[in-house]
Structure 1
């Protein structure tokens, strides 16, 4: 029989097991029916590896010492025992959720609610301590919430395990206590654990309820333990300035390193939380912002003066020291995300903190709006960064304490810890990546040029322009060497694949490496890691002082998702890698979605589909398939015959649209720094023809319903993105309809031909607007709170746009003056999006939409984390140090 069958049989006379509720580090939890008392219970079965080394009889004896605890905030022990080799204990089944579930959902709790929960848990701890029982594993997972009241679970279980196993507990690989909430004495394996250890753990839980994160975080248990032992936690008011002074002081005292400096009891902690006049003599934190000053000196008798000695103490206590210098194994973890905090693929940028412990990215909040989130890699729930609404392109400072990001046409910075206001650094347009150096200088790409600016703010200084004579069109995605004196960037080319270039900030000398890539990073000061055109990640030995490659490239992994210009990858200086899977262009599918969000994949083979458009009769789609970077070819898909047909063949084309009669397809021509408009017969019976050559890139166009005129949008380095109007028979005589330093884009013309909708950042963020075609006119706002990718219904009575992951519909009445109603969300989903162009279209019936979805995206975007690869022999392409 299988283990579950054995367990069910062994307990059949006492409990009827209904289903598994979950698994933890020590036990698997089942929902069961207590047959004798006719009640539902939580039956916890210890892991087999624990049962193998525990003395079962002694465990049962030890756990019974907690059975006498009767308190309204303590979950009592109903039963315990052994059955067919299984060790188990039984507690009431509580309808509700754990505090961990609540924190995962809400991140931060209201101050009154957090204090109430902590006070009631402290009351339970005080009762248990007075009865000689110390919990040893207070954490959000062990605090159940029933009708808003906390109930502490697993009281005395850790003690029972330790007492029963004696010195053999390390054989199981289990550590008592959870790293984030361990007291320093637990972390260093002190022989005596007192009630003040539980006070510390409760202080850590309260800290997280108030701030959204535990006092100490790190990429591994080792890092967390080191911080608990050697570092002070930032005052909770630096993360949330609204925390009352007495609460902040109580938290600070509960988190003192020395047990003697903490509250003498859990009751004393509860009293301090209830006393508005309470102060703590050693509490010095109060104002938001980065902490500066002299750190406190720790004087534990068992902690050495140096951090290195402390590390040895911690490592020895936890069994992490090994006699042989064997490198840790390479690990790869897939990070998944719930609806809140789900990454937005269209922003195309993720960032790792310098120590590799934090991942920053643009995600969607509960209402589908964009903002920056941080995923601490040892936690499941992402944390929203305050005042980053609409933000993208996050960049960590060299010390990991600050985060820069782009929003509303500005580059901003904010404390990673939160609590303060975001500060403006400078205005930016056409931002294509950046890096924050150790000298507090930020190097970034704007309009295809490289600039630098002080993180304190100021005017950007031009560093380098693309070398047009060498065929360079843009310099993007800069990275810095560890000393901040050298810059790496990607030089996009009109003559081939993009190349990695390097520049010395001392003399501004620029050189181009013999490497083609989309993004590059420097690791450990001696290797260059880069993503190539195909989405493979390579490493090559690199001298950051001479800015030279010193060996041969070696592939690390394949399948990194690429974006329009770059890739969805981040590499920390430590060597940690985060990336979104997908490869060049990414395997995508075409999907038909109705107004309720019900989706049906079309039978077209997966490809790098882009910008689908329904034919006027709705029977065909014209679509781009990306083949090289932003370039590709134009194809049609016959919805009835389920047949794919190719219309262009030189991989220089994108953004197709139909002629009003459905007989021709117009498209953008990407000719290096120049652009143009092409046309081809929709049945493929003739060769494509060039209609217009233009000195700058043309990215999109749309014909009026009568086919007599056209709107198109180009990129102009002087005025950002401009919208032009022209007669269809004389495109070269086009005139600017909308031309300004603002960012106007994503054109869609109304079915009556009188109005067009577009996206502009005139308000500081992206919103959808209406204007009249071919004449100066008023501007009418359509969205409020963010909007991109507008598309008309064929009826002209609705306009659709996207905000975050959601599609919205707006009722519109077309007349001399347009009437615009309130936007209404239709559905959300993980569909490809773009801040520049519409990545979907509306079917002629107005009730269906063709969307593009990455394969597997219906389950949510996944970010892969790879660690320890650099520690393997010859990882950097050369011998190890």
Structure 2
């Protein structure tokens, strides 16, 4: 095998670099490999030589290419395949995580809800492939990867390719292509006409093992397992574990010996699994306990069970009718999509693509495939909405100087029409005659929703309750009576969905969560709202008076939501679009000895892997970097700037900001979630000394910096102003006296600690210094306007100070240019253009040269569509439990 590794290494040099062997299976050896063209880790799988010898390259490669067409949230797609030096190989994404087999070896059995969640995800992938005529043929725990907890089916179609390419010749001893413990009888008997029901059988075996701790049939040899399957009855789950009767019945049916006795599709199998659907019964031991209760208690318990069953059943609807499977399809392929909106007819997709700080508004004809660019947008988008009749597209947001923009575009391009500007977010009334807008900024009534009649310009205002918090986005109900709104608390890490009548009455919180939520979207019938939570699409029913009806339930899982945008739904409720991402970022260095226009940077990678990282922050001695890594939560790590292995500093997973080094480099300050409230905390870099500043109250989007004195400046809730905290005495004071002047972000202390460079959308009325941009504030008298200096206008970001404290580095607006601006204002000088496509960099002076510390976005985000996304919506039973 060592010889094979060397042959592979030599033959693929220039395309792939093999780093190490990951494992061996019945068909292939797997290597962790570096894709040199895209500089990413991949899994290279090389077929065993004896298998490759009998297959032949041409037919194997022809068959395996069919699997490259499978694009689904729960399928690891084929990246590459080929033949070289007598061996056959294929390449798939490398998943940082573990296989289901590894988890089962560690835990033995899984919780019922978790086992069903994994089964649902795999079934959705199988149905997607089966609808396209592709059968997996080797579903087993080893081929199910858990990427950030989400199941991903690996080697999809590989067994098919092997079988199709060499069925007549695979007779040599030792060539076991499929694991017998999960193989259906028809597959074991080499039945040539296999269909999706063989995968359903294998999936039922996997679910049985997740619940029981071992497959339904075991034995020392493949022959022994197959003999048991032929001669013994199907084992019952409830003999080894308490599960709902519906689960046992569904698994038993899916394990039927004859394909005709199983479910027609994997989706029907999953539908039959849902606990609480018809046939659910309380386990017998529970019935015996309840028989001893007093009669009154029995009646009360029975009433509770009925109520729970009604909730789980979705309050009625036809029972037992099979539902069509959801169908997933990718709509865009740029990898840079941050917002998408499906037209009411489902024929057009409007979307915003962002590269660097540049945003483009595009419309794609989903039938014809043509794409039209409508506009290059301002800096911050708020809402993107089709009019109810689909004739125009509404865009609301902020322009490059922080002013509101609200305009409509003809559906296929043309001159935009400006509309009244009352905020950065907007929603159409169901008849398209009125517009709701909100998000007032500094100098405007912030807690108002403005309703404008477009024909006349008449505008009325709805007051927002203080308890609602910051309203981010929303939707107008199909009935015309209600708004549904997404709000975040000012100081608590809480997200909420609210309803309010358009006359301002009846504020109701229908969902509250500690996990970020997407903006809500009403169902076409107006009886509920859909939203995204993590990787789930959820629905909460809403009564005619705006109140929640029951609890939220998941209707789709494993969506890999990007965290950007929300969902859009066609007028008939049949299709839904959202942004799906594969997020990852890594740290890089870029250096040049000759800063200035045309400067050439040499780049060095500091980290690898698919986890997301934050911007790195350099220690005072310039030897170490501190950053946040998102893996099992958000934690702080340090890394030598010369490279090496990251060292974990925090372990709570609750870090809510980038870290800031103490002036002596011995500690780090950061914001953290403490019981749902964002607090400032410090931790020693060496050791475990931690201190939480209990009186602090930070913004949920907290930013901070640490300067000599000592002084920690951190972002407060409300208008996102800053307070200066004494970490010794725990006293604090506002950075500026009037926090209504506008939001502040990205504070950077000067080298002497006496000034702060900050981005400020200062829009104070009647102020001659009113402007959005990079400001420098003197801490000697920061409450005095005379100590505030605008050094660079627009949406350019402050990046750092020059070593002498005389200038501030800023990133050019809408570009990758790095500029040096005098701290008292003046002409900006170009010092270089950062060399990465999508990155954020901090400049560090190095003698006469310049080093950039960068976090480079290596992820992708595209628009996806789900057809039949809520199959049970019409009957009221489409919620997964």
Quote the Cα distance in structure 1 between the aligned partners of 2:728 and 2:556: 52
In structure 2, what is the equivalent of residue 355 of structure 1? 345
Equivalent residue number for residue 462 of structure 1: 462
Which residue does 1:807 correspond to in 2? 816
For 1:214, the equivalent position in structure 2 comes to none
Q: Distance in 1 between matches of 2:605 and 2:815?
A: 19
Structure 2 matches for 1:473-622, cutoff 5 A?
A: 473-492=469-488, 498-505=495-502, 508-513=505-510, 516=513, 517-525=517-525, 528=528, 530-539=530-539, 549=549, 553-563=553-563, 567=565, 569-573=567-571, 574-582=573-581, 586-594=583-591, 596=600, 600-603=604-607, 605-622=609-626
Cα displacement string for residues 379-402 of structure 1 (whole angstroms, at most 9, x for unaligned residues): 666544458433512332333324
| Aligned CA distance change for structure 1 residues 531 and 419 (closer, same or farther; 3 Å) | closer
- Could you tell me how far apart the structure 2 residues matched to 1:752 and 1:496 are? 34
Q: Equivalent residue for 2:639? A: 637
What is the rounded CA distance, in whole Å, between the counterparts of 2:551 and 2:760 in structure 1?
A: 47
Aligned-residue offset at 1:416: 3.0
Match of 1:300 in 2: none
- Relative contact order higher in (CA < 8 Å, ≥ 6 apart): 2
In the alignment, what sits opposite 2:138? none
Unaligned runs of 5+ in 1: 1-324, 833-838
Deviation at 1:613, TM superposition (A): 1.2
Work out the CA distance in 1 between the residues paired with 2:665 and 2:351.
41
Partner Cα distance (1:865, 1:761) in 2: 34
Cα separation, 2, equivalents of 1:698 and 1:692 = 18
Q: Which residue of 1 aligns with 2:743?
A: 743
Structure 2: gaps of 5 or more residues: 1-321, 593-599, 764-769
Structure 1 position 684 matched with structure 2 position 687: yes
Q: Name the CA distance, whole Å, in 1 between partners of 2:520 and 2:790.
A: 40
CA contact (8 A) 1:526 1:543 kept: no
User: Alpha-carbon deviation of 1:478?
Assistant: 1.8
- After TM superposition, list the pairs within 5 Å mapping 1:821-832 onto structure 2: 821-823=828-830, 826-827=833-834, 829-831=836-838
- Structure 2 CA distance for aligned equivalents of residues 876 and 849 of structure 1: 57
Q: Distance in 2 between matches of 1:455 and 1:862?
A: 36
Write the deviation string for residues 646-680 of structure 1: whole angstroms up to 9, x where unpaired: 33527254232001221111122456896543221
**For 1:655, what is the secondary structure of its paired residue?**
coil
Q: Which moved more, 1:374-383 or 1:635-644?
A: 374-383
Q: Please point out which of 661, 683, 699 is paired with 1:658.
A: 661
Distance 2:492 2:789 in 1: 42
CA contact (8 A) 1:369 1:786 kept: no
- Aligned match for 1:668, one of 667, 671, 685: 671
- Residues 557-587 of structure 1: CA distance to partner in whole angstroms, max 9, x if unpaired? 4243344xx655444444433333237xx44
Partner of residue 125, structure 2: none
Indicate the SS of the match to 1:734.
strand
In structure 1, the residue matched to 2:877 is: 878
**How far apart, in 1, do the equivalents of 2:591 and 2:575 lie?**
41
Post-superposition offset of 1:427 = 4.1
Show CA shifts across 1:715-760 (max 9, x none). Answer: 33xxx23244566655524243363432332211233445432212
Cα deviation code 1:99-131 (max 9, x no counterpart): xxxxxxxxxxxxxxxxxxxxxxxxxxxxxxxxx
How far residue 351 of structure 1 moved from its aligned partner, in angstroms, is 3.4
Q: 1:384 and 1:327, CA in 2 relative to 1: closer, same or farther beyond 3 A?
A: same
1:770 aligned to 2:776?
yes
Indicate conservation of the 8 Å contact 1:633/1:648, yes or no: yes
What is the Cα deviation at residue 403 of structure 1? 1.0
Residues in 2 aligned to 1:326 and 1:394: alpha-carbon distance in whole angstroms: 34
Cα shift at 1:482: 1.5
3-state secondary structure, aligned to 2:648: strand
After superposition, give the CA deviation of every residue in 1:165-184 in whole Å (9 maximum; x if it has no partner): xxxxxxxxxxxxxxxxxxxx
Q: How does 1:746-757 map to 2 (within 5 A)?
A: 746-757=746-757
Whether 1:415 and 2:409 are equivalent positions in the alignment is yes
2:436 aligns to what? 442
Cα deviation code 1:217-246 (max 9, x no counterpart): xxxxxxxxxxxxxxxxxxxxxxxxxxxxxx
Q: What residue in structure 1 maps to residue 716 of structure 2?
A: 714
Equivalent in the alignment of 1:394: 383
Give the structure 1 partner of residue 44 of structure 2.
Answer: none
User: Aligned pairs, how many?
Assistant: 520
Check 1:354–1:446 CA distance in 2 against 1; reply closer, same or farther (3 A cut): farther
> d(CA) in 2 for partners of 1:627 and 1:458?
50
**1:422 to 1:604, Cα distance in 2 relative to 1, 3 A:** same
Superposition TM-score, scaled by structure 2 size: 0.51
The Cα offsets for residues 167-226 of structure 1, whole Å up to 9 and x where unpaired, read as: xxxxxxxxxxxxxxxxxxxxxxxxxxxxxxxxxxxxxxxxxxxxxxxxxxxxxxxxxxxx
- Cα 1:387–1:819 change in 2 (3 A) is closer
TM-score by length of 1: 0.51
Superposed CA offset, 1:536-555 (max 9, x none): 22356666676654797343
CA distance 1:786–1:415, shift in 2 (3 Å): same
Aligned to 1:405: 396
Kept after mapping to 1: 8 A contact 2:777/2:788: yes
Distance, in Å, in 1 between the alignment partners of 2:799 and 2:650 is 26
- How far is 1:605 from its partner? 4.4
Q: Is the 8 A contact 2:626 2:638 kept in 1?
A: yes
Question: What SS class does the counterpart of residue 751 from structure 1 fall into?
Answer: coil
- Establish whether residue 848 from structure 1 lines up as the match of residue 844 from structure 2: no
1:139-178 counterparts in 2 under 5 A? Answer: none
User: Structure 1 599/380 Cα, relative in aligned 2: closer, same or farther at 3 Å?
Assistant: farther
Aligned partner of 1:453 among 451, 463, 482: 451
The separation in 1 between residues aligned to 2:743 and 2:512, in whole angstroms, is 33
The separation in 2 between residues aligned to 1:333 and 1:742, in whole angstroms, is 40
**Deviation string for 1:120-166 (max 9, x for gaps)?**
xxxxxxxxxxxxxxxxxxxxxxxxxxxxxxxxxxxxxxxxxxxxxxx
2: distance between equivalents of 1:562 and 1:402? 23
Q: Which range moves more in the overlay, 636-645 or 665-674?
A: 665-674
Q: Is the 8 A contact 1:802 1:808 kept in 2?
A: yes
What is the distance in 2 between the residues matched to 1:446 and 1:434? 15
Q: Could you say if the C-alpha distance between residues 794 and 561 of structure 1 is closer, same or farther in structure 2, counting changes exceeding 3 Å?
A: farther
Distance 1:540 1:743 in 2: 33
Q: Is 1:788 equivalent to 2:794 in the alignment?
A: no
In the alignment, which residue of structure 1 is the partner of 2:649?
646
Q: 1:329 to 1:878 in 2, by over 3 A?
A: closer
Q: Once the 2 structures are TM-superposed, how far is the Cα of residue 357 of structure 1 from its aligned partner?
A: 3.8
Cα deviation, residue 523, structure 1: 3.2
In structure 2, relative to structure 1, the CA distance for the partners of 1:778 and 1:580 (3 Å cut) is same
C-alpha change, 1:441 and 1:754, in structure 2 (3 Å) is: same
CA shift digits 1:784-827 (9 cap, x unpaired): 5641253335465764333566332223456xx56543346603
- Give, in whole Å, the separation in 2 of the partners of 1:747 and 1:369: 23
